[in-house]
Structure 1
Amino acid sequence: MNNKTLSCALAIALSTGFNPSIFAAQTTAVPAAIEHVDNHFDNKGKPPSTYTVEFQKGVRNTLPFADKRDFEEARKGFIAAPAYNKIMADAGNVAWNMGSYDFLLAGKDFDTVNPSLQRQAVLNMAYGLYEVVPDRIYQIRGFDLANITFIKGDTGWIVFDTLTSKETARAALDFINEKLGKRPVVAVVISHSHADHFGGVRGVVEEADVRSGKVALIAPVGFMEHAVAENVYAGNAMNRRAFFQYGLLLPRSPYGHVDMAIGKNAASGNIGLIEPNRYIEKDFESVTIDGVQMEFQNTPGTEAPSEMNTWFPQFKAFWAAENVTGTIHNIYTLRGALVRDPLVWSKNINNALYRYGQQADVMLAAHNWPRWGNERIQEVMRAQRDAYANLNNAVLHAANQGVTINEIHNVYKLPESLKNTWATHSYHGSEEHNSRAVINRYLGYWDANPATLMPLSPKDSAPLYVEMMGGAAKIMAKGKALYDQGKYREAYEILNKLVYAEPQNTQAKDLLADVYEQVGYQKESAGVRNSFLAAAYELRNGMPNGRAPRSGGPDFIRAMSTELWLEYLGISLDGSKVADLHFVLNLKTPDNGEQFVVELSNSTLTSIKGQQAKKPDLTLTLDRSALEGVMARQTSFDQLVADGKATFEGDRKPFAQLMAAMTPFTPDFELLPGTKQ
């Protein structure tokens, strides 16, 4: 394997944390532009069963749908919507298409969508410019997964969070300037280290203006490290799993994708990253820019490892970042990420409640809609505070009485009082997977039963179950009977075994898909719905073909530390190919003064910063700026040597063997057996 292939593997992993729709935008199998409202988009798809229809009726009859305050708040302050509903990317593809969700505005109840989730999906159809605080704070909603917020200063705009892509952010800035008068951007505040909040930064500001200090770019401490590193190590796996959580293959349809809980979905444009010129490092820190007073509250370890809220004392407005939105969030993210801490989350909401919430007149956030009136703000903040704390405390209460990770999702229930509060419904997370995450955080994945400590792989255990159950025909008959009785969880328990044992059994995969589909129709959580429906799609049609995603771009390569890159190489290494090789490399990057020792031993690659081996096998010297060309797949080490930009001193043979043992990760592996075409 050559060095360009190695860099390709790195770049693929880099892309996953920044925009889950990148792959979808380039995948030939994605039918996202097709709308199927009255008819199923898949010729194998099924309508909602009588059990699903009755389930949806039960939801409509038991939840407080008469409470319309969210709809009033979502409409409040509306100024104008653009004449267009598509935003094009510079590359020529559609970066954003709000119109693809117009079926949600038809006023029809869809029995293929949980009524509570449909309600959330309709609320997220807000599209256009909204006034939050008269003549001072504005939001543009519906241009991307997140909101972009504009604060009117004495001379210009202070922009809070810049959406996912350059194109959608640029469109938002153009639109507010068109409607309210053109003003320069004097500052940008990034609330946290997720791409739907910083990826569009180049659409609202020039990097040179940030570098010169003309424009302040403010972020919480740790922002750059987490923005780049959070999803690198397992990035390729996360990218593939995003097909399920984000429903990347599902058409926008009552039978498919309807919402992502905190917005419709992420845009597919150019994602950028500019290093901030000011970091908020204290727990609470006050800043005044262009006449606007702001107090920042650092909230690390909540929705993101680096995140902050903001209080505007002049306007009595509280910006809740992504810590208090229109849903209970993920404690465990289905695409994969480090488990979050609901107790820390609850405590940070409580701190904000007592410091700001008791005097705030409006609360707005990076997603969903604002809340007005102090009583209403305190109601929502207390409810979400209690929901996160209850999740933590009640799950651990059960765990301390012997309930295990494999049981808790069937035991934990949100208190009835919180079920009647819309703000505590889990449209992004779910009570099931969040409760399991709490036990995993404290006790790990093992339930203390030795049989589950080192279980057989599913493909090895499944044939035993199939044999003991009397073969495929009996399992199919029982699975169909369970499906006909609306016992979907029991049905997929046994059909999943059959599909693993016989991955080419089309009838088994189709029946399992039918089961998954009904479960998906019923689920309130958008991510869980998408996961079941996407699994059904792949069982019926196979997993997607198409090109792997492009890299996160030069901004992310520049921002990625050499140390992080070397650690990722250790993950990329197939140690079995270099089992007998011991190799010591000194790496020097003179332009930034860094030095590393990279050592291969025992099939493992390790590195240490700030050291040099006394007797290395090889010394590689090149500027960090030149190394970035290799990392970005724009050049190779051989070409850098030929251009006089890199030198090797010593034996290059072991280095060549090391490079040949690197695995070019691509997200083209099966999540379900028998689905790879």
Structure 2
Amino acid sequence: MATPNEATETIIKQQKELKENLPFDDKQDFVYARRGLVKRMKPNIVYDSNGKVVWNNDEYNFLRRIESPDTGDDDAVVVIDPLTSLETGKAAFELYKSARGDQKKVKAVIYTHSHVDHFGGVKGMVHQDEVDSGDVKIIAPEGFMEHAVAENVYVGTAMSRRAAYMYGAALKRGPKGQVGAGLGQTVSTGEVTLIAPTTIIKNTRESLSVSGITIEFMMAPDTEAPSEMLIYFPQFKALCAAEDATHTFHNLLTLRGAVTIDLFGDKTNVVFASHHWPTWGAKEVVDFLTLQRDLYAYVHDQTLRLLNKGFNGPEIAEQMILPPALEKAWSARGYYGSVNHNVKAVYQRYMGWFDGNPAHLWEHIPVERAKRYVELIGGVDKTIDAGKTAYDNGDFRWAAEILNHAVFTELENARARALMADTYEQLGYGSENGTWRDFFLSGTTELRTKNFGTPMATASPNDKSAVLDVSVTDTKTLYRLWLSNGALVYTKAPQTTNAAVKLTGTSKALTTLAGAGITINGDTKVLEQLAELMDPSDPNFNIVTP
């Protein structure tokens, strides 16, 4: 693997200017983070059953250096968001028991929302039979299963591939590699598990009791996740904000946060989120929630103001400046969700992908556009020369745009790939946002190592036919599915004809495709035919090359 470059003078100057404007005299978060800390894992490494590392927090010990590189019931436990994998969930619960006593039993698991890092470790803490027997409740917001499946099945392969870039999965940990992802260090690998909810929360102010612990809920759909809720424990005056109020600017598509202060602000002594340390003190909680509310409201409202003046997403993002109070607040820094890409997210939420310019309505695909730009410039060599000039001048954004055309025109051009990798590297070194850094440096890594996927051919079901029924026993619903002009469509309308094959099972068994819980009657060749039409996903598809 190529040796990483040093930061250029442009990046060193940029980082110095940023450092001089950050509020390093505000150390309150260190106080909050240490309060209530009971125990750490030592060493902080988690292995799977085969001895493979699925989580290694000790890799980040280099961050301890002073200078940053340029680059209720006594016997009951309620678990909130049991991590990403069985292994990390189990390790976390074992750590808890070693510090607090192993006699305590989990009586409830609460999923605050439908992202995998908030439910995937559930079987490391509880077993399915404990849930089936009623000993453990699994509590989730309305729509949880639908959205968990939609995100992790429908587009799971594509999201996983991009997540590897976003969280720097292939990057070496260190000052010239992955240093974190903004919201935390990274995500674990390991076995992702899921136990379906037994209790669904539908309404704000809905409450329930678990082993004498009263829990109140506030619904927050379509905020950080499509299915999400906040949790309040009145006996402890404690509010769990899920991921809707964190110690960094989060990713967003819509406005959020205002109602929380009205419902719980005057009766909360501590607020905590799934990824970050608590904020302690009644006044401090209100101040923190106020800053979070104002941050999202300001970016949202100013984006709407400017789009109604005719600016598009990128134009608004370039001119968005936060008010001084927000700019100087650590919890408003764009370590995970940047002002730049959150502005574009708000724009996309209201206006869609098209900016109204007809020239952008039917553009050539990237490869064809690249070929034409390279021809216009005078060939690949001149294109690379232009990129090198931009690089030497410290205009890395322009260098990336020019060199991207060269790489997409001649994939194996070593000079184009090397300079493109160097350019992404400098953009990564200059990124305050953790996920931006990971994306840029992941691009650098793949350009230097040639670790690319190969797209697969698309299946062509246009001339095929298949009819099947799916009977969901617990909801007493019968679905008729059939192939129509290459599309698999369905209806719940009563049918007068029989399908070739019928699948019968509970919604849980059918959703997870658990064979043991599904009965199949009829011609199984229909299922085989449908399986043959399934186009295998490619988890290694190209991103920085055509």
Instruction: Classify the TM-score, shorter chain.
Output: over 0.9
CA contact (8 A) 1:95 1:269 kept: yes
Structure 1 residue 372: Cα displacement: 1.0
Amino acid at match of 2:21: T
Structure 1 residue 54: Cα displacement: 0.9
State yes or no: 1:59 paired with 2:36: no
The corresponding residue for 1:370 is 278
Deviations 1:438-460 (A, max 9, x none): 11111111111111101011111
Unpaired runs of 5+ in structure 1?
Answer: 1-41, 113-151, 332-339, 549-571
State yes or no: 1:515 paired with 2:423: yes
Structure 1 residue 519: Cα displacement: 0.8
State yes or no: 1:648 paired with 2:510: no
Residue 452 of structure 1: which of 350, 360, 378 is its match? 360
Decide whether aligned partners of structure 1 residues 394 and 284 sit closer, same or farther in structure 2, where only a CA change above 3 A counts: same
The corresponding residue for 1:532 is 440
Write the distance in 2 (CA, Å) between the matches of 1:657 and 1:85.
48
Deviations 1:543-588 (A, max 9, x none): 2579x9xxxxxxxxxxxxxxxxxxxxxxx9956x33344x351324
Deviations 1:421-470 (A, max 9, x none): 11111211111111111111111111111111010111111121111112
State yes or no: 1:176 paired with 2:89: no
Structure 1 residue 601: Cα displacement: 2.5
Residue 599 of structure 1: which of 464, 470, 482 is its match? 482
State yes or no: 1:390 paired with 2:390: no
SS at match of 1:213: coil
CA contact (8 A) 2:472 2:506 kept: no
State yes or no: 1:432 paired with 2:353: no
Write the distance in 1 (CA, Å) between the matches of 2:534 and 2:129.
37
CA contact (8 A) 1:217 1:277 kept: yes
CA contact (8 A) 2:472 2:507 kept: no
Percent sequence identity is: 37
Q: Which has the higher contact order (CA 8 A, sep 6+)?
A: 1
State yes or no: 1:292 paired with 2:213: yes
Write the distance in 2 (CA, Å) between the matches of 1:252 and 1:432.
26
More deviation in 365-374 or 470-479?
Answer: 470-479
SS at match of 2:190: coil
The corresponding residue for 1:190 is 111
Write the distance in 1 (CA, Å) between the matches of 2:275 and 2:170.
24
CA contact (8 A) 1:52 1:521 kept: yes
Write the distance in 1 (CA, Å) between the matches of 2:510 and 2:235.
47
Structure 1 residue 368: Cα displacement: 1.2
Amino acid at match of 1:504: E
Amino acid at match of 1:193: S
CA contact (8 A) 1:408 1:435 kept: yes
Unpaired runs of 5+ in structure 2?
Answer: none
Residue 492 of structure 2: which of 574, 585, 609 is its match? 609
Decide whether aligned partners of structure 1 residues 47 and 226 sit closer, same or farther in structure 2, where only a CA change above 3 A counts: same
Amino acid at match of 1:160: I
Residue 304 of structure 1: which of 196, 202, 225 is its match? 225
The corresponding residue for 2:315 is 407
Decide whether aligned partners of structure 1 residues 162 and 465 sit closer, same or farther in structure 2, where only a CA change above 3 A counts: same
Amino acid at match of 2:534: M
Residue 67 of structure 2: which of 91, 101, 108 is its match? 108
Write the distance in 1 (CA, Å) between the matches of 2:205 and 2:514.
42
The corresponding residue for 2:190 is 269
Q: Output aligned runs, 1:344-359, within 5 Å.
A: 345=256, 349-359=257-267
Amino acid at match of 1:224: M
Structure 1 residue 630: Cα displacement: 12
Decide whether aligned partners of structure 1 residues 167 and 658 sit closer, same or farther in structure 2, where only a CA change above 3 A counts: closer
Structure 1 residue 615: Cα displacement: 4.5
The corresponding residue for 1:461 is 369
The corresponding residue for 2:29 is 70
The corresponding residue for 1:208 is 129
Aligned length: 543
The corresponding residue for 2:5 is 46
Structure 1 residue 619: Cα displacement: 1.2
Residue 416 of structure 1: which of 324, 330, 350 is its match? 324
Write the distance in 2 (CA, Å) between the matches of 1:205 and 1:164.
14
Amino acid at match of 2:543: L
Decide whether aligned partners of structure 1 residues 102 and 221 sit closer, same or farther in structure 2, where only a CA change above 3 A counts: same
SS at match of 1:358: helix
CA contact (8 A) 2:54 2:190 kept: yes
SS at match of 1:578: coil
SS at match of 2:523: strand
Amino acid at match of 2:206: E
The corresponding residue for 1:623 is 504
Deviations 1:126-182 (A, max 9, x none): xxxxxxxxxxxxxxxxxxxxxxxxxx4243212222111222222222222222222
Amino acid at match of 2:171: L
Write the distance in 1 (CA, Å) between the matches of 2:98 and 2:121.
19
Structure 1 residue 298: Cα displacement: 1.3
Q: Output aligned runs, 1:94-243, within 5 Å.
A: 94-112=53-71, 152-182=72-102, 183-243=104-164
Structure 1 residue 591: Cα displacement: 5.7
Decide whether aligned partners of structure 1 residues 454 and 64 sit closer, same or farther in structure 2, where only a CA change above 3 A counts: same
More deviation in 279-288 or 404-413?
Answer: 404-413
Write the distance in 1 (CA, Å) between the matches of 2:414 and 2:453.
19
State yes or no: 1:93 paired with 2:27: no
Structure 1 residue 628: Cα displacement: 6.3
Decide whether aligned partners of structure 1 residues 85 and 463 sit closer, same or farther in structure 2, where only a CA change above 3 A counts: same
Decide whether aligned partners of structure 1 residues 631 and 421 sit closer, same or farther in structure 2, where only a CA change above 3 A counts: closer
Write the distance in 2 (CA, Å) between the matches of 1:633 and 1:318.
37
Residue 239 of structure 2: which of 318, 334, 351 is its match? 318
Structure 1 residue 627: Cα displacement: 12
Decide whether aligned partners of structure 1 residues 658 and 72 sit closer, same or farther in structure 2, where only a CA change above 3 A counts: closer
The corresponding residue for 1:541 is 449
The corresponding residue for 2:405 is 497
CA contact (8 A) 1:154 1:291 kept: no
CA contact (8 A) 1:578 1:603 kept: yes
Write the distance in 1 (CA, Å) between the matches of 2:497 and 2:234.
61
SS at match of 1:284: coil
Amino acid at match of 1:58: E
Write the distance in 2 (CA, Å) between the matches of 1:295 and 1:380.
21
Structure 1 residue 659: Cα displacement: 4.3
Decide whether aligned partners of structure 1 residues 659 and 75 sit closer, same or farther in structure 2, where only a CA change above 3 A counts: closer
Decide whether aligned partners of structure 1 residues 86 and 437 sit closer, same or farther in structure 2, where only a CA change above 3 A counts: same
CA contact (8 A) 2:473 2:507 kept: no
Write the distance in 1 (CA, Å) between the matches of 2:527 and 2:332.
54
Write the distance in 1 (CA, Å) between the matches of 2:319 and 2:339.
10
CA contact (8 A) 1:587 1:620 kept: yes
Write the distance in 2 (CA, Å) between the matches of 1:249 and 1:407.
33
Output the TM-score relative to the length of structure 2: 0.93
Write the distance in 2 (CA, Å) between the matches of 1:657 and 1:380.
56
Deviations 1:503-529 (A, max 9, x none): 111111110111111111111111111
* Aligned alpha-carbon RMSD (Å): 2.7
CA contact (8 A) 2:181 2:336 kept: yes
SS at match of 1:623: strand
Residue 396 of structure 2: which of 469, 478, 488 is its match? 488
Residue 461 of structure 2: which of 572, 575, 578 is its match? 578
